[in-house]
Structure 1
Amino acid sequence: MENGIDFLHALDPDMLSKIFMCLEDPSDLVRVSAVSRSFQNHVIDNSLCKQLCLRLFPQLSKVDNVIELTSSTKNPAEVGSSNSMKWESSMEWESLKQEHRVYTFLARGFTSFAVKQLILEPIAASSTDNFPMESIYNTLKPNKRARRASYWSSKGQSNPAVPETLTYKLDGDLCLINEINIQPFQAFFQPGGPIYSAKAVRFRMGHVKRPLDVLQDSVHDSFVWTYTSEEFPMAQENCLQNFKLPEPVLCIGGIMQVELLGRVQKQEMDSLFYICVAHIQIVGRSLAPAFSVDIDEHSKSLTLKVLSYNQPSPPEIPSTNSSFYGRRNVSGFYWGEVDDESDDEVYDWGEEDDEPDDEEFVL
């Protein structure tokens, strides 16, 4: 390197791309592109950051357009040196640079945005025994065994195989989901304190076909599910049970459905089987408000929008009395005690960078 020769020119471009794609972390690819102008141009020109994001999250393969709706992007005339201005000012090059910015920030969001409770609001339950006393809304807060029990209850069924579903809207169009916590309800006011758990649970993620406010009775048939998990066994225990996905799953569209499979508890007074849930948490990273998506239901294509290159402010670290702490691993999944101290359901796993609030992303 005494003569300042860039060894990039000694390698075949395809070989260099294969070497770069051996990296598993998009942040490493960003560091490589910072080594030299030649490396950066190669990474951008070959859409390597996009390729790596697609490899990590194949659901992004349906994205056919990216849009920046932010004033923080640079003016084309302000980018690059005079020697490369002619090439960089071309529409194709500017489009590639925009794509690189978007996917680089997206990759950063997957690893640095805060881990938290993702449920924004309930959408619907497949059935409710006594509305609103036993509504799905009761699943949003931990059951603290207050004076009045708070829980959702299905309608009774004579067939224990009849499933139930609870559907939620998440806090953002793009959410990276790590795990789901569910606490079955124990009816302390009934003889023997029966626990109305399900036999198993399964999770679906997807988006709405059309606006929910016009669906009326067809709400349960109005979602497109792009991911369905395996079945996880649920114990007949009054504790916050943790179901960790094998790999984090990217939910595009912000809809999550909890499918409760099989009934184990019969109510003594009517000899019918019920499922009751005290509390549900969906834990992961929301990429809102930085990102949103538009979904074309006719073409099945996605438009990825960047609304801001500012990283959201990190949440407060929860109390160590939170139900997130102190879980124990039993038979392949986790258990935890009910949160008796704090309503704060935002989690910080210590994975986020120690950076100032509302930090702006700069490439």
Structure 2
Amino acid sequence: MDFLDRLGIDLSSKILMNLEDPSDIVRVSSVSRSWRHFVIANGFVQQLCLRMFPQLSRVSRVIELNKCTVIEPAVGSSHSAELETLEKDHRVYNFLARVCTSSHVYGCIQRAICASSTDSYPGKRVENTLSACRAFYWSSKGQSNPAMPEALTYELVSKFCIITEINICPFEAYFQLGSPIYSAKSVRFRLGYSKTSNDVGKGLLAHSYPSADDKFIWTYTSQEFPMAQKSDTQKFKLPEPVLCVGGILQIELLGRVQRNKADGLFYICMAYVQVVGRSLSPAFGVEILEPSGKFVLLQNKLEKFHDQPIDAIETIARFVQSSAGDLWQIVNRL
């Protein structure tokens, strides 16, 4: 007996919607032609992806790039065209679901864009937070108000990434009496995209927080995470993996703890920032549609998903490129 046929569409759909592994849905669609049609016609893989990543609700359409064969629907056959669209969506979302559940994660920061303020620029610039050498750091300007926030903005390795956690190490001023730690009281994370397709972050260093914030659209804002007043790397794991569409991450540093005895002002200083996740490029890409904020999901049929962490050579190469010739940092990194 075919229970999908006997139970009807509604009850059968409720049963299949309990599947959480995309490979299980693929197996269901492989049982028979009728089951495959049922899975594709109801878009179960797409619904699974939406449950995993609500950010996909902004997808306006799906496009397969470099497809080898294209089946043209018969003239006047709207049913054939609709079926072809459903099958295309099934293929793309099926591959996307498998890629999103891949086990490998790695560092996802491409470069630092800007900081809301910088003390003694460029010596204590935000780019220092990408170095593993704790002797170099970013420092905010001093403030008399300990509630004044700061923000660090980064560009990720691609415009389509899954972020799972952010690791931050506050700076310990070992050269000051008592080795004070210039941490923040709490942190919050925002993900989004740039309003312009021009060079991201160009000229933003001259802007103060939150005026530079006007350059970006934020599609996800996390909860606040309390920061410990320690110089160790602190891991902030997001409640659920988040799909970043646009490739921009901002770290909001909320509240100041440490006062500098020399001038009596409060500072925030960070030694290291790491974003952990996986890039979905080059197999997938996005094209953001303004001003609606929706986006086109692109799958490149000629590209494969590289399910491997970035190797040490590439990591060093990125650091050398972003360090602007600072030989001392390069030597320490090596």
TM range (shorter): 0.7 to 0.9
Which residue, out of 251, 260, 284, partners 1:258?
251
Partner of 2:33: 37
In the superposition, relative to structure 1, how do residues 316 and 219 fare at CA in structure 2: closer, same or farther (>3 Å)? Answer: closer
1:138 partnered with 2:131: no
Q: Cα 1:313–1:12, aligned 2, differ >3 Å: closer, same or farther?
A: closer
Structure 2 gaps, min length 5: 313-331
- Give the deviation of 1:27 after TM superposition: 2.2
Which residue of structure 2 lines up, in the alignment, with residue 312 of structure 1? Answer: 306
Partner of 1:160: 146
In 1, the alpha carbon distance for the partners of 2:70 and 2:103 equals 27
Quick one: distance in 2 between partners of 1:18 and 1:7?
13
What TM-score, normalized by structure 2, do the two folds share?
0.84
Amino acid at match of 1:257: Q
Q: 1:221 aligns with which of 214, 218, 225?
A: 214
Displacement, 1:313? Answer: 4.6
Q: What letter corresponds to residue 256 of structure 1 in structure 2? A: L
Give the alignment of 1:110-259 within 5 angstroms.
Answer: 110-112=100-102, 114-144=104-134, 149-213=135-199, 216=203, 217=207, 219-259=212-252
1:284 maps to what in 2? 277
Describe the superposition over 1:21-73 as per-residue Cα deviations: whole angstroms up to 9, x where unpaired.
111222211121122222111111111111111122111111011111134x5
Following TM superposition, the consecutive aligned residue runs of length 4 or more in structure 1 with deviations greater than 4 angstroms are none
Query: Which of 63, 70, 73 is residue 67 of structure 1 equivalent to?
Result: 63
Give the distance between the partners of 2:166 and 2:63, measured in 1 at CA.
32
Deviation at residue 114 of structure 1 after TM alignment: 2.8
Superposed displacement of residue 253, structure 1: 1.2
Kept after mapping to 2: 8 A contact 1:8/1:38: no
Q: Aligned runs of 1:14-53 on 2, under 5 Å?
A: 14-53=10-49
Q: How many residues align?
A: 304
CA deviations on 1:171-229 (whole Å, 9 max, x unpaired) are 12221111110000011112221111111111111111123538644633111111111
Tell me the secondary structure at the aligned position of residue 167 of structure 1.
strand
CA contact (8 A) 1:178 1:247 kept: yes
Partner of 1:335: none
SS in 2 for 1:302: strand
Structure 1 residues 310-349: aligned runs within 5 Å: 310-315=304-309
| Separation in 2, partners of 1:223, 1:299 | 14
In structure 1, the gaps of 5 or more residues are 78-86, 319-341, 345-363
SS across alignment from 1:178:
strand
> SS of the counterpart of 2:101?
helix
Contact 2:282 2:304 in 1 (8 A): no
Give the whole-Å Cα distance in 2 for the aligned partners of 1:46 and 1:205.
31
* C-alpha contact 1:196 1:276 (8 A) present in aligned 2: yes
Which AA in structure 2 matches 1:140?
A: L
Match of 2:265 among 272, 280, 284: 272
Tell me if structure 1 keeps the 8 A contact 2:129–2:271: yes
Q: Distance in 2 between matches of 1:252 and 1:213?
A: 17
User: Contact 1:173/1:291 (CA < 8 Å) preserved in 2?
Assistant: no
2:31 aligned with 1:57: no
| CA distance in structure 1 between the aligned counterparts of 2:196 and 2:23, rounded to whole angstroms | 36
* TM-score relative to the length of structure 1: 0.78
Question: Which has the bigger relative contact order, CA under 8 A and spacing at least 6?
Answer: 2
Q: 2:274 & 2:243 partners in 1: Cα distance?
A: 17
Aligned-partner Cα distance in 1 for 2:10–2:308? 40
Contact 2:113/2:155 (8 A) holds in 1: yes
Tell me if the contact between 2:193 and 2:217 (Cα under 8 Å) persists in the aligned partners: yes
